[in-house]
Chains A and B, each alone.
Chain A
Amino acid sequence: MAVTELLHISGEWHIKYNYTAGKIASRFLAELRDNKRIVGTRCDKCKKVYVPPRGFCEECFVPATEWVEVDNVGEIYSFTFGPRKLSAGLPEPFIIAYVRLNGADTCIANFVKDIDMSDLNKLKEELFVGKKVQVKYEVKRKGLITDFYFCPYE
């Protein structure tokens, strides 16, 4: 008896998580939420300031214990943008940039907003590597990375 039909079986993973931020990231996120400021940690040995902060310097493999507040102004090191959604959560259109805030030795990523994306030719004047940007805090903050975003420096 020949079977010519090829079947498929539906399935889904529903998995909820309660991710542990740990004491370092918890401080960073709480500072965003409660004090509207961005903090990093400094390596005990090489003195690099990591934003976002970590407990350990990966290059020296020693603790990074000193907390440092960094500026709300910085520079775009790289970016990407899309005219339409790539996945369910992305805004449409979107701009994501890695920014080095003054005082930090590493770049932190976030969305860039308040830039007119309707004319892609004009966008090159508004969005470029080296562009000065500033941090803007959301009115309602939840202790998440999205409590802030970048916008052009005024």
Chain B
Amino acid sequence: MARRCAIVGVGETKCATHRPEVDAPSMVTEAVTKALSDADITIDDIDAVVFGQGPDAFTGVENGEKWCSAAAGALHKPVMRVHTGGATGAGAAVCGFMHVASGMFETVLVVSYERIKESENAQYILNTIWDPIYERNLELNTITIIGIFATSYMEQYGTTLEHLSMIAVKNRANAAKNPYAHLQQPLTMEDAMKSPVLSWPLRLCDCCPSSDGACAIVVASEDKVKTMAGPSAWIRGVSQIADTVFVGDRLQRGNELRLMESLDLAARRAYQIAGIGDPRHEIDVAEIYNPFTIIEIMAYERLGFCKSGEGGKFIEKGIPMMNGGLPVNPSGGTLCSNPISATALYRVADAANQVRGKAGPIQVPDVRNALAHGIGGSGQFNTVIVLGKDPY
């Protein structure tokens, strides 16, 4: 492994349906300014900028990084864009890490922004990620495809709508305490069970909102960290894995692992690098990218927090609750805030803040190791990042 790096600063804007008072560049500057201030550095300390930007069609400005890179302080600096669908923010963080770990740069800024409501119909845009030859005409979108994931998974393991509802209730309760979350009203079990079906088995309560938001983190080398006074979250392990675009290849009766195999591979690799042998007990908090409740249940298993098929039992036992032993999504996760390009970077930022002790009202006590996850393209791309109080 190359040289050690840490996240030394984080900046998030409050996720909202719409932020009419800021144009996109201003919203980016808002997040970047916060991250620099949090790291107690200036823009002159930044050697390069990695821009995590997903489908441009949401904001309707092609090459969003072209419009906003100078607003991120990248004037006359190296800039690189990363795009892995929903996993974009985490992929950008991995790219930022590699810039520093390689020894080529000391301090790198990673930034992402999104404004879903700039366009009128997010699912119409998401439909365009399907190939026009075999699948676009079937009107597949993220809700229908994850409905298909859920049906297969629930059939194999007997997971119920009550399990999905528990996930929704947990995340909404956590988001109510997160000043940066979009949906901040708690949800009762009763209301979850009455939630209307959008694409079976997914109901409205199982699905994420559409959000405006921008996020930035600062990644610094070990040498740079030694000169800094503030708390750091050491990047102990990273991995991002791609699977086939063909969901039809990944649906195999009796082999549920195949559907989200890229997450299994990414988790194993990240844990191997980080030296994590028992994730269930060595990870103290996890920020999982859960645009739909079912993804969180499947992720418990693929991340090794419980055995395959026991994701429902895991939430039943209360383990992923704030006081349950392995809190998952103290932020409320993607289910409560989804500025798509930026969302996975929010997961990284939130996980980093848990390690750094800077999570404020959603702080989990005594965090030594945290996990951040991003997923994109209907589970085709999965990224796992392990952060720790100590370097590996």
Contact = CB atoms under 8 A, between A and B. Distances in A.
B134 A25 contact: yes
A6 B20 contact: yes
Interface of B: 20-21, 57, 60, 121, 123-124, 127, 132-135, 137-141, 143-144, 147-152, 155, 197-202, 244, 246-249, 251-253
A96 B20 contact: no
Interface stretch (A62-70, A103-111, A133-141): A103-111
Nearest to A85: B139
B137 A80 contact: no
B20 A82 contact: no
Contact of B138 (A25, A50, A58, A110): A110
A22 B134 CA distance: 12
Given A82-B144, A86-B144, A19 B132 contact: yes
A22 B88 CA distance: 30
Given A25-B134, A129-B152, A81 B199 contact: yes
Nearest to B121: A87
Contacts of B21: 6
A77 B152 contact: yes
A128 B132 CA distance: 28
Q: Is the interface of B mostly helix, strand, loop or mixed?
A: mixed
Interface string A128-153: 11100000000000001110000000
A130 B152 CA distance: 10
B249 to A, nearest CB: 5
A23 to B, nearest CB: 12
B123 A80 contact: no
A47 B266 CA distance: 28
Contact of A17 (B124, B132, B197): B132
A8 interface: yes
Interface of A: 6, 8, 11, 13, 17, 19, 21-22, 25, 29, 50-52, 58, 77-83, 86-90, 94, 96, 98, 106-111, 128-130, 144-146
B144 A145 contact: no
B133 A87 contact: no
Contact of B137 (A6, A51, A87, A145): A145
B60 A11 contact: yes
B137 A8 contact: no
Given A8-B20, A80-B151, 18 more contacts: A6-B20, A17-B132, A77-B251, A78-B149, A78-B155, A80-B148, A80-B150, A81-B199, A82-B199, A86-B123, A86-B141, A87-B141, A89-B127, A89-B137, A96-B140, A107-B248, A129-B155, A145-B138
A86 B198 contact: yes
A11 B252 CA distance: 43
10 contacts: A6-B21, A80-B148, A81-B200, A89-B137, A89-B139, A98-B248, A108-B134, A109-B247, A110-B138, A128-B155
A40 B138 CA distance: 19
A93 to B, nearest CB: 10
Contacts of A130: 253
B200 to A, nearest CB: 5
A29 B134 CA distance: 9
Contacts of A77: 152, 251-253
A106 B124 CA distance: 27
Contact of B199 (A58, A86, A144): A86
B249 A78 contact: no
A86 B152 contact: no
Given A78-B149, A82-B197, A98 B124 contact: no
Interface centre among A17, A21, A89, A108 (most CB of B within 10 A): A89
A13 B248 contact: no
Given A19-B133, A82-B199, A87 B60 contact: no
B26 to A, nearest CB: 12
Nearest to B126: A87
A145 B133 CA distance: 7
Given A8-B20, A58-B244, A86-B141, A13 B124 contact: no
